[in-house]
């Protein structure tokens, strides 16, 4: 199933990009980067280690976009009892439509998260996300609509992630952002423990042109050791560099 979905997605990605480029000379953009700690929605994806990341994006003047992105990961220490069944890298494929009209903007995106390691095919899942922006405020929601984890585990179907984000420009072209998110999972474990958690982030970033952009962030969640997903509620800090060309 994984190979069929992945093959279909790749064929669609190549075909759609080729058609779009033929219609209009819209640029592709590429990005590479490294972070001292890969954090996603308040949860470590790299076991407190550095991660190397990169992606390719295509944007059409109509608002349609298409892209792919990958990162090294390390899920050790998450409570997964099988050390073999742990992926070593994440590969995302996404497409969507977004527009900005004055102070308002919106974005609709479908993302397929895949973990292509030989023993990690049951980690894959897809999300449908919608968000709206007004000036410095963004509010959004992500819905897990198809996942391959076993029945009764997170990221299979019906999970909802809600978030709000404020972005503000500071002097010297520094960008300050704050994010508050809540993950509402449609499952619980055999002891009726909920996987739901809240997380928050504060980040600073600055673009230095040819030298790329640099960022620093503070993340934390209220999950704690009893949760399979948000297993660590300690404060987490990360610094990162990203170059887009």
What's 75's domain CATH number?
2.40.160.40
How many domains, in total, are found in the chain?
Answer: 1
Please answer whether residues 98 and 65 qualify as being in contact, where contact means their C-beta atoms are separated by less than 8 angstroms. Answer: yes
Query: What pLDDT, on the 0 to 100 scale, is given for residue 123?
Result: 84
* Residue 10 φ/ψ region, left for φ over 0, alpha for ψ in the -120 to 50 degree band, beta for the rest: alpha
Q: What is the pTM of this model?
A: 0.86
- Measure Cα distances from 217 to 72, 124, 177, 209, 239 in Å: 19, 27, 9, 20, 7
Coil vs helix vs strand at 42: coil
Query: What pLDDT, on the 0 to 100 scale, is given for residue 25?
Result: 63
Query: What pLDDT, on the 0 to 100 scale, is given for residue 211?
Result: 97
Query: What pLDDT, on the 0 to 100 scale, is given for residue 79?
Result: 54
Query: What pLDDT, on the 0 to 100 scale, is given for residue 224?
Result: 82
List CB contacts of 103: < 8 A, sequence separation 6 or more. 134, 135
Query: What pLDDT, on the 0 to 100 scale, is given for residue 105?
Result: 98
Q: What is the residue range of 20's domain?
A: 2-244
CA distance 208 to 144: 36
Q: What residue ranges of the chain have pLDDT lower than 50? A: 1-11, 13-15, 17-23
Q: Which two tokens stand for residue 168?
A: 């503000």
């Amino acid at each position: 199933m994984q190979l069929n979905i992945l093959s279909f997605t790749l064929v669609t990605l190549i075909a759609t990009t080729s058609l779009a480029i033929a219609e209009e000379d819209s640029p592709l953009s590429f990005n590479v980067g490294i972070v001292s700690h890969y954090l996603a929605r308040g949860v470590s994806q790299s076991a407190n280690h550095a991660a190397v990341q990169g992606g390719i994006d295509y944007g059409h003047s109509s608002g349609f976009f298409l892209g792919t992105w990958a990162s090294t990961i390390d899920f050790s220490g998450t409570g997964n009892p099988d050390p073999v069944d742990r992926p070593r890298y994440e590969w995302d494929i996404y497409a969507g439509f977004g527009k900005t009209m004055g102070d308002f903007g919106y974005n609709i995106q479908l993302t397929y998260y895949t973990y292509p390691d030989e023993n990690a095919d049951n980690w894959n899942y897809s999300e449908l996300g919608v968000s709206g922006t007004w000036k410095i405020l963004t509010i959004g929601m992500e819905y897990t609509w198809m996942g391959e984890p076993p029945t009764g585990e997170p990221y299979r179907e019906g999970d909802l992630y809600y978030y709000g984000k404020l972005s503000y420009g500071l002097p010297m072209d520094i960008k300050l952002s704050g994010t508050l998110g809540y993950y509402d999972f449609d499952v619980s474990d055999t002891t009726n423990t909920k996987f739901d958690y809240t997380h928050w982030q504060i980040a600073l970033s600055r673009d230095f042109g040819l030298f790329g952009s640099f960022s620093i962030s503070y993340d934390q969640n209220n999950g704690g050791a009893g949760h399979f997903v948000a297993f660590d509620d300690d404060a987490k800090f990360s610094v990162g560099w990203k170059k887009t060309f």
